[in-house]
């Protein structure tokens, strides 16, 4: 009798044990038609936004490889979520080590997964990182459609100073975008204004600003 009990445990519990030891985490997907399916997603702690995911439905052993051509959204429980985005993505370099000497407004149109960093009643904050740089996007209710928060860094040779020709330009358009939203949702306070001025184009700071706007009464 004990033998059959052990055999039962091996046959039925081993797949669950194996799944727990792998990179597969519980979560769900939403396909392009809006249908939701729960299962397990192969989570790799991505530094760059993934082009696709591997998904195991709750029933069966089939592993599906899903991209932006297949799903609109996916979420890994208590870890992270990603949303499909089709639109403009800036292509200028903002690295201080590779600073260019002109204002680069180049962009591409692409369909990618954006990571959802913060979502509330007023705004959603997203990010997209590839081999070039990290970018942040803001979405406003009701649809929360993403639009890039613009930041450029370049060396302008046309600006003449006392010591030399040229000057580093930090084009902080994203601050103006967030100021406008803070005013719209009646969230602008001395703390938020200071936070916006000191935020920098960094994830943690932007998350705190957007979270504060989402907490506004309006």
- For the residues 82-97, what does the mean pLDDT come to? 93
In this structure, the answer to whether residues 108 and 122 fall within a common structural domain is: yes
What residue spans of the chain are helical by DSSP H?
Answer: 2-21, 173-184, 190-198, 203-214
Measure the CA–CA gap between 63 and 115, rounded to whole angstroms: 22
Does 175 share its domain with 191? Answer: yes
> Cα–Cα distances in Å, from 159 out to 69, 86, 105, 167, 169?
46, 36, 19, 6, 10
pLDDT in tens, 95-136: 877 777 788 899 999 999 999 999 999 999 999 999 999 999
- Domain range for residue 48? 1-78
Q: Is the pLDDT confidence value at 82 over 80?
A: yes
Average pLDDT over residues 77-105: 91
**Span 5-34, mean pLDDT?**
68
Give the C-alpha distances (Å, rounded to integers) separating 5 from 2, 11, 12, 158: 5, 10, 11, 81
Q: What is the pTM of this model?
A: 0.85
Per the document, the length of the chain is 218
Q: Rounded to a whole number, what is the distance in angstroms from the first to the last CA of the chain?
A: 66
Query: What is the structure's pLDDT at 157?
Result: 67
DSSP assigned state of 146: E
Same domain, 59 and 114: no
Out of 20, 47, 78, a domain closes at 78
Which of residues 22 and 177 earns the better pLDDT score?
177
User: Which of 54, 78, 102 is the endpoint of a domain?
Assistant: 78
- How many structural domains are present in the chain? 2
Nearest Cα to Cα of residue 136 among 52, 182, 205: 205
Q: How does residue 197 score in pLDDT terms, banded at 50, 70 and 90?
A: confident
C-alpha 165/C-alpha 163 separation (Å) is 7
Q: Which residue among 63, 78, 93 closes a domain? A: 78
Same domain, residue pair 198 and 212 = yes
Same domain, 116 and 141: yes
Q: What is the DSSP string of 102-124?
A: S----EEEEEEEEEEEEE-SSEE
Question: What pLDDT shows up at residue 75?
Answer: 98
pLDDT tens digits, 134-189? 999 999 999 999 999 999 998 876 666 555 556 788 899 999 999 999 999 999 99
Between these two residues, 33 and 199, which has the higher pLDDT value?
Answer: 33
Q: pLDDT at position 76, please?
A: 98
């Amino acid at each position: 009798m004990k033998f059959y009990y052990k055999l039962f445990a091996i046959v039925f519990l081993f797949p669950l044990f194996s799944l727990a030891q792998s990179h597969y985490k519980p979560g769900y997907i939403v396909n392009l038609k809006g249908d939701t399916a729960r299962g397990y997603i192969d989570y790799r702690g991505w530094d760059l936004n993934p082009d696709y995911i591997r998904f195991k439905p709750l029933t069966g052993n089939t592993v599906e490889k899903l991209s932006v051509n297949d799903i609109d959204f996916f979420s890994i429980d208590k870890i992270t979520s990603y949303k499909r985005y089709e639109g403009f993505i800036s292509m200028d370099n903002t690295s201080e080590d590779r600073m260019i000497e002109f204002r680069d407004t180049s962009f591409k149109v692409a369909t990618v997964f954006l990571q959802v960093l913060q979502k509330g009643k007023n705004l959603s904050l997203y990010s997209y990182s590839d081999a070039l740089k990290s970018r942040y996007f803001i979405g406003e209710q009701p649809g929360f459609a993403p639009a890039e928060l613009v930041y450029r860094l370049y060396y302008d040779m046309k600006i003449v100073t006392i010591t030399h020709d040229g000057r580093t330009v930090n084009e902080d358009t994203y601050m103006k975008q967030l100021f406008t939203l803070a005013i719209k949702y009646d969230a602008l306070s001395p703390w938020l204004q200071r936070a916006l001025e000191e935020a920098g184009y960094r994830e943690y700071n932007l998350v705190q600003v957007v979270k504060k706007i989402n907490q506004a009464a309006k």
